[in-house]
Amino acid sequence: MSTATIFQIHLALGYVPWLLCFSAYAWPRLAVMDRVAAHRAIAALHSFRFFGLSFLVPGVVGANLPADFASFAAYGDFATGVLAMLALLAVRIRPLFWAFVVAFNLVGAVDILVDYYHGIQIGLAPIAGELGANYVIPIVYVPLLMITHVAAFILLVRQPVAEMRQASPVR
């Protein structure tokens, strides 16, 4: 089997176990949590995205990994991680907290989507070995990040449970 085929299988199947785990364990809890607590939990996970800077470290990635791909992936992750940390630090100032929550989710989701696009454009699949030690990031870590971005957007747009209870007539 070619490197490209293995990488594409890994990319696709990386979502399956995370979707199964997330839907069985994380989503049921996040869906009923206080909105701030749920978004803090998601921000805590994304605060580790500073790790994406490792795409810029020689020896961690191969010398033939396209620099444009590595730079965008690294700085997009770094920006998302910093915004997530700022959300966690701003939790007591709610308007600022919510601004950072929206910002890190938008920046983070766009980063992942653009990284997928760039990966396709540069033909990353056949040279996936150039990801080096970071091969695990798009296969194991990115699916969980994207799933939690989607969850965060759902939580941001839906009406809080407490507000729904107050709005519905009591019978």
DSSP string, 36-65: HHHHHHHHHHHGGGGGGGGGGSBTTB-TTS
The pair of structure tokens assigned to 45 is: 């996970």
By CB atoms closer than 10 A (0-12, 13-18, 19+), residue 58 is: exposed
List % helix, strand, coil for the chain (3-state, nearest 5). 85, 0, 15
Task: Assess contact for 77 and 148: CB atoms under 8 A.
Answer: no
Mean pLDDT by 10 residues, the chain (171 residues): 95 96 97 96 98 95 95 97 98 96 98 97 96 95 98 88 48 47
pLDDT at 158: 85
- Euclidean distance between CA atoms 146 and 19, whole angstroms: 10
Rounded to two decimals, the pTM is 0.90
The pair of structure tokens assigned to 47 is: 């605060």
- Euclidean distance between CA atoms 113 and 119, whole angstroms: 10
Task: Assess contact for 78 and 47: CB atoms under 8 A.
Answer: no
What's at 29, amino acid-wise?
R
- Euclidean distance between CA atoms 57 and 14, whole angstroms: 24
pLDDT at 171: 47
- How many CA atoms are closer than 13 Å to the CA of 107, on its beta-carbon side? 23
